A = this chain, B = another copy of it.
Amino acid sequence: MARLRDLGEFEAIRRLIARADVPGEADGVRVGPGDDAAIVRPEPGRDLVVTTDAFAAGRHWLDEWIDPEALGARLVRANVSDVAAMAARPRWATLAMGLTPDRDDAWVGAVESGVVAALAADGARLVGGNLTATAGEEWLALTLLGDARGDHAWLRSGARPGDLVVATGHPGRAGAAIALIRALGEGARDAAWRPLLEAWRAPASRVDLARALAAGRAVTAAIDVSDGLAGDLSRLADASGLGVRLERRGFPADDVLEAAARKLGADAFALRLGPSDDYELLLAVDPGRADVAAVIAREAGVPWSVLGRFIESPGVLEWVDEDGVRRPIPKDGFDHFR
Residues of A whose CB lies within 8 Å of any CB of B are 1-5, 7, 9, 12-13, 15-16, 19-21, 23, 27-29, 31-33, 37-38, 40, 42-43, 46, 48, 50-56, 58-60, 91-92, 94-96, 98-106, 108-109, 112-113, 116, 123, 125-137, 139, 141, 143, 145, 147, 336-338
| Bound form: Cα–Cα A156–B128 in Å | 15
Contact A4 B99 (CB under 8 A): yes
Contact B136 A52 (CB under 8 A): no
> What B residues does A108 contact at CB under 8 A?
4, 12, 16
Copies of this chain: 2
> What B residues does A16 contact at CB under 8 A?
108-109, 112, 129, 131
Contact B51 A94 (CB under 8 A): yes
Contact B4 A103 (CB under 8 A): yes
The verdict on A139 contacting B98 (CB below 8 Å), with A16-B112, A56-B132, A105-B3 known, is yes
Contact B12 A50 (CB under 8 A): no
Of B54, B128, B141, which is within 8 A of A37 by CB?
B128
Closest to A135 in B: B137
- Residue contacts A-B, CB under 8 angstroms, 8 given: A3-B105, A32-B125, A38-B127, A50-B128, A52-B143, A54-B98, A133-B336, A141-B141
CB distance from A267 to the nearest CB of B (A): 27
The verdict on A40 contacting B109 (CB below 8 Å), with A135-B137, A137-B134, A139-B134 known, is no
Contact B92 A336 (CB under 8 A): no
| Bound form: Cα–Cα A108–B11 in Å | 12
Contact A5 B43 (CB under 8 A): no
Of B54, B98, B102, B127, which is within 8 A of A50 by CB?
B127
